[in-house]
Chains A and B, each alone.
Chain A
Amino acid sequence: MGRIGASSTPVAPPRSFASGVRVGLVLGGLALAAAPGIRRAGRSWRNRIAVEGGSMSPALLDGEWLLVDPDAFRDRGPREGELVLVADPRRPDRLLVKRVAAIAADGLLDLRGDAPEASTDSRDFGPVPPSQVLGRPWARYWPPRRIGRVR
């Protein structure tokens, strides 16, 4: 233990070129793997929504804040059981969050609230074309206790 520089032994051996490449590859791989997630978080951040009402209880509660991926259904359609953000068929300026209960043969989505006795859904406004789906709510960022994925 002397002053820095007093010892002649180096603290770490000098890195070889090969190990530098290896570190670079690992970091690069991590960045590549994380990139879609980061991109999704970025585009979802622009589509954050507040849940109002209890029809999706207990999965989503009144007042919770969610991130919605607008590109989730760009390459595929919604699947049964998935959450969807849709324009209200009766008032397109209104947003609804519901769950896909079933998909009809013609591709129309049968939407339901998780709490059907307190939900206005496809039973009232009929099945909804997939074109009405605006995105998939996939994460909750408020309240802090319930931060995480939603499904």
Chain B
Amino acid sequence: MLRQRLVAALAPRRVAHAHCDVPCGVYDPAPAQIAARTVSRMVELLNGITGMELEDRNKMVRCTAVKEQHAELVKREVQVIWSDYFKPEHLEKYPELHDLSWRVLKQASKCKQSVDAEATAELERLVGRFAEIFWASKGAPAHLMTPSAEGAPKNVISWEVRAS
């Protein structure tokens, strides 16, 4: 009671803003990483198709469609973080940022055009590096941004990709 009244008496009258207009913390490269992983997985599934039965062709079309969508998702997610989140100060600190973002977008297109496991692995690697820079720019602890042995960043909780 007394405490509340004391706080009320001491409390400031106005708020002075000291932040960015965009609420901080709403950006996250995880969706891009998951999408890149999905592209890889679709290529794996596509390469596993041997027959030309109707079922096989159905699966082929579905996997190709998902691959296309998720490659596009990679481009979209990375592009938003690149253009909206990163500021000139970040670029100064991470000079590779522009080139890296450009290469992610190009690589995603390459993955659409091909059914190439090497191309998708490269896409995952590039997106992983992009995520590393993102987390480093936020001062996140290193364990969140160190890729595991498989090249899968640990900040992505699950790598289960449903192909159904």
Residues of A within 8 A of B (CB): 46-56, 60, 62, 65-66, 85, 88, 94-98, 113, 116-120, 123-124, 137, 141-142
Contacts and interface: CB of A to CB of B under 8 A. Distances in A.
A46 B9 CA distance: 11
B8 interface: no
Interface residues of B, number: 18
B19 A120 contact: yes
Given A50-B12, A65-B12, A97 B17 contact: yes
B24 interface: yes
Given A49-B14, A118-B20, 9 more contacts: A47-B13, A50-B11, A51-B18, A53-B24, A60-B18, A65-B10, A95-B15, A97-B18, A120-B19
Interface of B: 10-21, 24, 87-90, 137
B20 A119 contact: yes
Given A54-B24, A65-B12, A117 B17 contact: no
Contact of B137 (A49, A88, A117, A142): A117
B87 A116 contact: yes
A45 B13 CA distance: 10
Given A141-B10, A142-B10, A52 B15 contact: yes
Contacts of A65: 10-12
B18 A52 contact: yes
A46 B88 CA distance: 38
A96 B21 CA distance: 12
Contact of B16 (A52, A54, A117): A52
A53 B18 contact: yes
Contact of B14 (A50, A88, A141): A50
B94 to A, nearest CB: 11
A137 B14 CA distance: 13
Nearest to A91: B17
Nearest to B137: A117
Nearest to A51: B18
B137 A55 contact: no
A21 B12 CA distance: 43
